[in-house]
A and B are shown apart, each in its own frame.
Chain A
């Protein structure tokens, strides 16, 4: 069944360490039904390399990782294939007894050829033998560092119990080693932190601790399942850097599972793309981005928003990510593919080696590339490099949005103005619940949104950007400052006018699964606002309006009688937008509307928002942490840090000539497939808004901070026509 390891393909990075052959996994969903979630996936991993496993949600990439560890959930089981791990080369790692034990049992079961009798088929091991592989040979880190650590054990205990497996060490030695490990992953004062519990660590620090735990026994392979998805960009940059550094030092091979192509471009040596439970393309990282061979890979790359493509729409993959349980006759991507031909629908293509004519890469690299397509893309012009100069390529697809011109700029007063807005939440303590402090979620924010324009509010989690949105809608009360909307001030409104005001300002939330009431029919959802606002003369009129907004967001009218759970994430987000549009608002606050969506769907929603603005002249406050989306959608951008705006202005200016050190660091931290990774390292994490640092909030993390930054609150400085920043270093008077 399996050939000796390292036989296939030429070795560039080192010997092959792990080979996955036709791995198939199925999920039993009640009754006797089996739904395949991984379908004959094969790849190999070489010593010291990083293989990125890329795909959208539900494509099976996380399941693949769990299958390698034999940690599949109870409802899933391996239906075929093999995972072969190369026998250990050096000393250390597995205790000798258990190695011998494992080998003895594994060899006959693994069906390995004589030349590599020492290689281990992981599926042939007993559970006890597999346990000695986990941690020792293959380790894994997970997406959510918050829930992946045991809340009631100290870090020292949790890392220590891994060490204890390798042999008899006394407690002092063990402690020493844990401290060493913590130090290696960049945790400051490890002597003290070793006795702390996970909840006392921030997200980034927890992920570092997870990495320390995974690397404790120096495994050959590290599987990282979306290791930075739950983290902010600046923290993500730190963690990725740490991984790269550790890999370089120890030669660990990494399987990096991610949906973020920016991360892939920065980290990976090779890329494997999964779509609908199958691998569709395996290629060298550089050649993958330069000349993707599978139409899906290409679309995926093109769908990432970027400043260079502002003039047109984003490339869009029509349709939705297929649901589990779908059955196919031909190519699984065919119905979403714009290169589709008759053959694609009738016969399934196989993953086969493919040579490209791309000249700038060595033969060895291109030989290793495999693609699952009858008509793989060959031309050099398909690459990203060409895209930047020729925006029309991206818009040739039938589903891409029509090229949009800039919306007309209105000269009247801004639609919405925030003047020194503050939202403080009291912290109550003691016997009489006296207020002993405030969480300064929003601490003096001034903004303006013009009619028919989009302002992007950018910042990391916890900076207060969502609270600003809620304060605008009156969902939280402002502690100080003013919100001025179209000449009126909602703070002074009585109930009646507040309700009328809410008709003019609407909101779209991040989570498409939480933002629609699962018990309501779509028509009810859409008409809820109309009823509350007493809009429409009768039920028929409201029905007409509901149908109208469905048309606007591009959903069929048949959706009216259905329930939210029948729609995919992207469609639900369209519904949420439709609900907001139904009451004809002038401003829509979009709170991270695309960050829960897959790249291809994200592009659809961004295109839709732009189109709506063009057609209806509605203004957007686009709250996001995703700078790439900002580049695409916003006219102006405001960068927020710990309750304050540090810089704002026209998008072109702020993103190309950032003035504030934080903006610069933030921009450089975003992994991009276009820009080289030339980054400003940002130390530490954002402090808690209940105890913000004195003076400039950013000074503890600022590389250029001067003593006065500690004392003085920086004033807003006009840098250009539409570009302000709040930084003492930029102040011409002080300078």
Chain B
């Protein structure tokens, strides 16, 4: 086995490390923690946190890639590895990955979607719905299916609740007596949503071991597997894009606002120019160009996965190029405001260098904008990926993503009977992810934006500036 570190893997893990470091810093400083506390006061935000965590875990499991070693014929020869790159998630979902039907099948079905000519044992041929190869194999007769599903679902629910109970008890005994006091933080909402997730998850897992829970697509792949694999792509696009462009936004935005003069003029010119180009066209042009580059340099990529991954990274960068301007504009405005504040003036009077003022005073006090932008951009990027893939300028067609799923299934509704399950699975997974992210973003914006924060009169605020 040989580990493969794809570009986006590396960046994603670096991001996780950065987030943990950030969380640690925030945890140690009361004044940084305070806005996050306010986020925790929102029941909807707290309920969406476990959902996001589950998505994140799936995405991270899908971000450890390796190539399996091939059977060695000759011991002396250097080890050879499979061309196919697998991830830990693939290993976990091995059954779903390999359980490949011939073509469409409906969710939880045991027969295929279309009639086929079936060779009977006696040599005759009958046109009927063939049994699926990997669904309902344990059933003795067709009538057992419903009972079997009910049993599986209910046992799944019980298992889910049991797991939840264990976690809950564990957390409770660790926290001890402190947790008894009522607090405005809505941990109850988080626990409730975790219970629902675990129940649903266990139900799906129980059923998935015997059926295709979301059916299969045209080439017979399990739709649940495709949807789970798409999560990583969505997460990568939603997070890496803004992180890749963060240095640009921060550097140019703050420099423009703080230095004013020709630097400001230059930065404003750059972002007005970039903004003026319709973003879809800019992305399309860049993606087409990149495709030409990839096509003309096939030797750079060892595996298909690496090629697709590089395209994903490029897509992130291109999306970032079109989206950094928004944050840069906000930061510029904030820097313009902050540079006139007394503490910046005082730092100048103390002889502190401009670079240091920008990094230690301006950047630190504009961080709330970065946090708000990161969480709000996430969901719009996830949605944008689907649209771009539909237009044909999204991720590599060989890469699993919600966009490629929708794109592949877009004409299936016009079949008779309509094949709705691929679309339904892609849209509902995407909806759950984006809704959770949006609910969190809403609470984060409320908690971090000083304009909304002042609306709730805090005692300290009434103290300040009661008269000039």
Contact = CB atoms under 8 A, between A and B. Distances in A.
Q: Do chains A and B touch in the complex (CB under 8 A)?
A: yes
Contact of A259 (B30, B341, B349, B467): B467
Given A73-B457, A230-B468, A565-B460, A506 B349 contact: yes
The 10 closest A-B pairs by CB, nearest first: A57-B466, A529-B350, A515-B342, A324-B459, A509-B342, A499-B351, A31-B184, A502-B351, A532-B352, A517-B343
Given A58-B463, A565-B31, A529 B351 contact: yes
Nearest to A500: B351
A6 to B, nearest CB: 33
B468 A596 contact: yes
A558 interface: no
A374 interface: no
Given A35-B459, A75-B457, A503 B351 contact: yes
Given A532-B351, A563-B31, A596-B468, A27 B459 contact: yes
Nearest to A143: B467
Contact of B463 (A30, A57, A230): A57
Interface string A499-535: 1101101110111011111111000000011011100
**Contact-size category for A:** 35 or more
Given A506-B350, A596-B468, A29 B343 contact: no
Contacts of B341: 514
A576 interface: yes
B141 interface: no
B347 A528 contact: yes
Contacts of A529: 350-352
A528 B352 contact: yes
A568 interface: yes
Interface string B333-376: 00000000111011111111100100011001100000000000
A95 interface: no
Contact of B348 (A323, A475, A576): A475
Contacts of A76: 457
B345 A509 contact: yes
B127 interface: no
A529 B464 CA distance: 26
A76 B459 CA distance: 11
B41 interface: yes
B349 A507 contact: yes
Interface in B441-468: 456-460, 462-468
Contacts of B364: 517, 519
Nearest to B463: A58
Nearest to B37: A30
Q: DSSP majority for the B interface?
A: helix
A583 interface: yes
B346 A509 contact: yes
A530 to B, nearest CB: 9
Contact of A518 (B350, B365, B456): B365
Interface of A: 27, 29-31, 35, 37, 57-58, 62, 73, 75-76, 143, 226, 229-230, 259, 321, 323-325, 470, 473, 475, 498-500, 502-503, 505-507, 509-511, 513-520, 528-529, 531-533, 563, 565, 568-569, 576, 579-580, 583, 595-596
7 contacts: A27-B459, A58-B466, A75-B456, A229-B467, A324-B462, A503-B351, A565-B460
Q: Residue among A73, A475, A514, A518 with the most chain B CB within 10 A?
A: A514
Contacts of A475: 345, 348-349
A324 B463 contact: yes
Interface string B45-70: 00000000000000000000000000
A515 B353 contact: no
A595 B467 CA distance: 9
Interface of B: 30-31, 41, 184, 341-343, 345-353, 356, 360-361, 364-365, 456-460, 462-468
A510 B30 CA distance: 27
Contacts of A324: 459, 462-463
Nearest to B356: A532
Contacts of A143: 467-468
Given A506-B350, A514-B342, 6 more contacts: A29-B458, A58-B462, A475-B348, A563-B30, A569-B463, A595-B468
Contacts of A595: 468
Contact of A323 (B360, B361, B463): B463
A585 to B, nearest CB: 10
A544 B195 CA distance: 54
A321 B460 CA distance: 12
B343 A473 contact: no
Nearest to B459: A324
Contacts of A325: 459
A324 B346 CA distance: 30
B342 A27 contact: no
A84 B30 CA distance: 46
B198 to A, nearest CB: 29
A685 to B, nearest CB: 18
Contacts of A321: 463
Contacts of A37: 462
Contacts of A503: 351
A519 B365 contact: yes
A259 B468 CA distance: 11
A501 to B, nearest CB: 8
Nearest to B184: A31
Nearest to A513: B464
A204 to B, nearest CB: 15
A565 B31 CA distance: 9
A660 B46 CA distance: 67
A532 B456 CA distance: 38
Contacts of B463: 57-58, 321, 323-324, 568-569
Q: Residue among B342, B365, B457 with the most chain A CB within 10 A?
A: B342
Contacts of A510: 342
Given A75-B457, A532-B352, A596-B468, A515 B462 contact: no
Nearest to B352: A532
Contacts of A473: 349
B456 A30 contact: yes
B42 to A, nearest CB: 11
A576 B346 contact: yes
Nearest to B32: A519
A31 B37 CA distance: 12
A517 B351 contact: no
B89 to A, nearest CB: 40
Q: Residue among A475, A503, A528 with the most chain B CB within 10 A?
A: A528
Contacts of B350: 502, 506, 528-529, 532-533, 579, 583
B456 A507 contact: no
A712 B109 CA distance: 101
B467 A57 contact: yes
Contacts of B465: 511, 513, 596
B391 to A, nearest CB: 42
Q: Residue among B41, B184, B353, B459 with the most chain A CB within 10 A?
A: B459
Contacts of A226: 467
A606 B138 CA distance: 89
A513 B465 CA distance: 8
A614 to B, nearest CB: 24
A532 B361 CA distance: 14
B361 A517 contact: yes
A27 B457 contact: yes
Contacts of B347: 517, 528, 532
Nearest to B29: A563
A62 B345 contact: no
A488 to B, nearest CB: 16
Given A58-B462, A517-B343, A596-B465, A533 B351 contact: yes
Nearest to B38: A30
Nearest to A321: B463
A568 B463 CA distance: 9
Nearest to A582: B350
Q: Residue among A58, A226, A259 with the most chain B CB within 10 A?
A: A58
B456 A229 contact: no
Nearest to A58: B463
A518 B350 CA distance: 18
